Copies of this chain bind each other. A is one copy, B any other.
Amino acid sequence: MKPLFHPDTADIQLSSVLYALSDPVRLMMVYKLRQNGERACGDIELPIAKSTVSHHSRTLREAGVIRTRTHGTQRLLSLREEDLESRFPGLLKSILASYEETDEL
């Protein structure tokens, strides 16, 4: 089982984070992860195929937005809130607050 790549906190790029969060599906994933805490891929209800979920998970992980750990056959996803807060203070909070202003929920 190969270890999944996660960028170091210091290497998280603003452009990559903004890009990762600019997709409505990924933004919804992040929103739900913050609401509900760590979740398995399959437990996040999304209107897309599982291979697409996997793709989005990867994008978020490689941008440094989420962390993925293995537990049995499951992949547990969680928000890297502290890391993001230390790298870009206030950013995630304001984006998620903005998301709640939206009708995209």
Contacts and interface: CB of A to CB of B under 8 A. Distances in A.
Interface of A: 13-16, 18-19, 21-24, 27, 87-91, 93-95, 97-99, 101-102, 104
Given A89-B97, A91-B97, A94-B95, 19 more contacts: A15-B22, A15-B23, A15-B24, A15-B104, A16-B22, A18-B18, A18-B19, A18-B22, A18-B95, A19-B19, A88-B94, A89-B94, A89-B98, A90-B90, A90-B94, A90-B97, A91-B94, A93-B94, A94-B94
A16 B102 CA distance: 12
20 contacts: A13-B102, A14-B27, A14-B98, A14-B102, A14-B104, A15-B22, A15-B27, A18-B19, A18-B22, A18-B27, A22-B22, A87-B98, A87-B101, A89-B97, A90-B97, A91-B95, A91-B97, A93-B94, A94-B94, A94-B95
